[in-house]
C-alpha cells in the first residue's frame, strides 16, 4: 500500500508541474503565455525531477506504466506488483490533472482554442500519421527506459540521487524527439489526464481525441518492452 501511495503522489506531482507548464504556455492571459517549447521541456524535466525525488526512496519512482512493465520484463520487478503500481500512477495522473484545471480555471475560461485546452491534458501529433506517430513514441520510450536502466545500474531501482540524471534524460528526449508527437512516453501521463479532460466541466472543450489515445499507450509500452529485452540480452 505504501508503494501505491508514493506512486500516486509522485505521479501527481509529475502531472501538476508537467501539465501545469503546458497550461502556463498555451492558455490565454497567463504570465507565461507563448513561452514556447523550451519552457515546456524544461518544465517537464523539473516535473520529473520532483516526482522522482519524492517517491524514489519509497516506491522506486516508476511513475510510468511502461517503466513498471519494462522492469518486470527485465526480471527486476515482480509482475504481481505491476497492477498496483499502474493503478497508483493512473490515480496520481488524474489527480494531478484535476489540480492543474483548478489552478488555471479562469484561464481555461478565457481561452477559445479548444485544441490548446486539450493540449494541457494530453498529447497530439504535429502531423497525424499513425505508423510514424506510433514509431516516434516507441523510439522516445526506448531511449527513456534504456537510459533509466543504465542510470540506475544493476539494481534498476531509482534512488533520490537518480532524480537529476533522469530529469536530464527526459529534457533531452523532449528537446530532441518531442517535435513529432509531444513525447508522451508514459501511458499514465497521457491517458489519465485525457480521461479528466473528458470528465471535467471545461468551458467550450472539444472531444478528447480518443482515436489517438491508443498510440500514447501502445507506443510507450512497446518501446519499454524493447528496451527491457535489449538490456536483458546485454546483461
Span 3-15, pLDDT tens digits: 999 999 999 999 9
pLDDT tens for residues 151-210?
Answer: 886 565 666 678 999 999 999 999 999 999 999 999 999 999 999 999 999 999 999 999
> In this model, does residue 47 exceed pLDDT 90?
yes
pLDDT at residue 156, rounded to an integer = 59
> In this model, does residue 221 exceed pLDDT 80?
yes
pLDDT tens for residues 154-166?
Answer: 565 666 678 999 9
Distance CA 180, CA 137 (A): 9
**The cell 517537464 sits on which residue?**
44
Domain layout of the chain by residue ranges? 2-234
The band of 134, judged by pLDDT with boundaries at 50, 70 and 90, is: very high
pLDDT at residue 235, rounded to an integer = 85
> In this model, does residue 55 exceed pLDDT 70?
yes
* SS3 assignment for 47-86: HHHHHHHHHHHHHCCCCCHHHHHHHHHCCCCCHHHHHHHH
Distance CA 100, CA 120 (A): 9
Cα Rg of the chain, angstroms = 17
Q: Tell me which architecture the domain covering 2-234 has in CATH.
A: Up-down Bundle (1.20)
Amino acid at each position: 500500500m505504501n508503494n501505491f501511495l508514493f506512486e500516486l503522489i509522485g505521479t501527481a506531482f509529475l502531472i501538476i508541474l508537467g501539465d501545469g507548464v503546458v497550461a502556463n504556455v498555451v492558455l490565454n492571459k497567463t504570465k507565461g503565455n507563448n513561452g514556447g517549447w523550451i519552457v515546456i521541456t524544461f518544465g517537464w524535466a523539473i516535473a520529473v525531477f520532483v516526482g522522482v525525488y519524492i517517491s524514489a526512496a519509497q516506491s522506486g519512482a516508476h511513475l510510468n506504466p511502461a517503466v513498471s512493465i519494462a522492469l518486470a520484463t527485465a526480471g527486476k520487478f515482480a509482475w504481481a506488483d505491476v497492477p498496483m503500481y499502474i493503478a497508483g500512477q493512473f490515480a496520481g495522473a488524474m489527480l494531478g490533472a484535476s489540480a492543474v484545471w483548478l489552478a488555471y480555471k479562469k484561464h481555461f475560461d478565457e481561452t477559445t482554442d479548444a485544441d490548446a485546452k486539450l493540449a494541457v491534458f494530453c498529447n497530439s501529433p504535429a502531423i497525424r500519421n499513425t505508423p510514424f506517430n506510433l514509431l516516434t513514441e516507441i523510439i522516445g520510450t526506448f531511449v527513456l527506459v534504456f537510459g533509466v536502466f543504465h542510470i540506475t545500474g544493476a539494481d534498476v531501482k531509482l534512488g533520490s540521487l537518480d532524480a537529476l540524471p533522469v530529469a536530464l534524460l527526459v529534457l533531452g528526449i523532449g528537446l530532441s524527439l518531442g517535435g513529432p508527437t509531444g513525447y508522451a512516453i508514459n501511458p499514465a501521463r497521457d491517458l489519465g489526464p485525457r480521461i479528466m479532460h473528458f470528465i471535467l466541466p471545461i468551458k467550450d472543450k472539444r472531444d478528447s481525441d480518443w482515436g489517438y489515445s491508443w498510440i500514447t499507450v501502445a507506443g510507450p509500452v512497446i518501446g519499454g518492452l524493447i528496451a527491457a529485452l535489449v538490456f536483458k540480452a546485454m546483461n
